[in-house]
Amino acid sequence: MKFVFIFSVVIILEIFLQSRWISGLNRRQVTLAQKVYGVKSHMETKSSTPSMGGLVFIAAALASIPLAGWFSDAVPGELAFFWFFPFLSAAVGFADDWIKFSKKSSEGFPSLYKLGVQILIVLPWVMWISLSRGISLWPGIVLSPRLAVPIATFLAIGMLNAVNVTDGLDGLAAGTCVISMAGAILWLPLRGSAFYGAVAGLAVCAAFLWHNAYPAKVFMGDVGSHFIAGLIVSTAIHGDCLIALIPLGFVYGLEILSVSAQLTAIYGFKKKIFLMSPIHHHFELLGWRENHIVTRFWLVHGAGLAITAVLLSSYFGN
């Protein structure tokens, strides 16, 4: 039951640190501008809410390393190895947030520049992981570096951007991450440091909902969404199951696909598929209440994760 103790300490620590951070953000008026082309009501309801709460994720995760080392069989060095990619991803998100905050704008990195930065951090990390410990498509199915590097790079960058576009409603990204991490712990063969890292990640995301659930007192910002994406990617790779990113990122995948489909329809056919993308904004414009959309997306994510996990287990288990 050591993991219960670690989970409890991390969740209490995250709630406490986040409350202190929110007070500081409010005093300094650290908010991020809402997109002018987004949902109009957000300009009124969300513009005064502080952002960059995802920075506290890093502090809580760092605290979990010695904690797990002291009270479990987890090796601190291996835990740091597990957390390296979430921290690296968070750095990119923080840079994007800082540009927005400094410019008092909703636009950070230009899209192509941001993609270039993501490639610069993801590609070397994937190559390092592939050559040092190997990347498995499924437990027991190790991919050659020539396959692992392009596939893992594509999926990791896709996850970074998918979680980022999902983070648009109170509790949506954090809540789906809780479901993803719980699913990973129950389903993937996580052992030792990877297991305790995933437990701490679950605690961090669950605790954030204390402040981020509707109506949110703080937003995670790009630093938080990138951290979450990095956490899910690291969990799948350290769980020796790269393909697990499909079920673990089920709703995130739907969100990024809705953006791609909308852009294709607009630029290719001069028509819209959705009232607005990503798809959660479509339902907002249909008149759904924000907390109803979030709850229903959580249910869709949980069901999608369970169904795709069962299908993958059935296929690869035979």
Q: Which residue from 216, 175, 214, 174 is spatially nearest to 31, judged by alpha carbons? A: 216
> Do the beta carbons of residue 225 and residue 93 sit within 8 Å?
yes
- From first to last of the 318 residues of the chain, give the pLDDT tens digit: 788 999 999 999 999 999 999 999 988 887 766 665 567 777 667 778 999 999 999 999 999 999 988 878 778 888 999 999 999 999 999 999 999 888 887 777 888 899 999 999 999 999 999 999 999 999 999 999 999 999 999 999 999 999 999 999 999 999 999 999 999 999 999 998 899 999 999 999 999 999 999 999 999 999 999 999 999 999 999 999 999 999 999 999 999 999 999 999 999 988 999 999 999 999 999 999 999 999 999 999 999 999 999 999 999 975
Beta-bridged to residue 50, according to DSSP, are 31
Degrees to nearest 5, angle at CA 244 with 222 and 161: 20
> Do the beta carbons of residue 155 and residue 233 sit within 8 Å?
yes
Q: Which contacts (CB < 8 Å, 24+ apart) does range 68-72 have?
A: 68/6, 68/193, 68/196, 68/197, 68/200, 71/2, 71/5, 71/6, 72/2, 72/3, 72/6, 72/196
Largest CA distance in the chain: 59
Q: Which residue from 258, 259, 236 is spatially nearest to 247, judged by alpha carbons? A: 236
> Do the beta carbons of residue 233 and residue 245 sit within 8 Å?
yes
Instruction: Give the integer Cα–Cα distance in Å for 263 and 256.
Output: 11
SS3 133: coil
The whole-angstrom distance between residue 85's C-alpha and the CA centroid of its chain comes to 12
Q: How many CA atoms lie within 13 A of 181 on its CB side?
A: 26
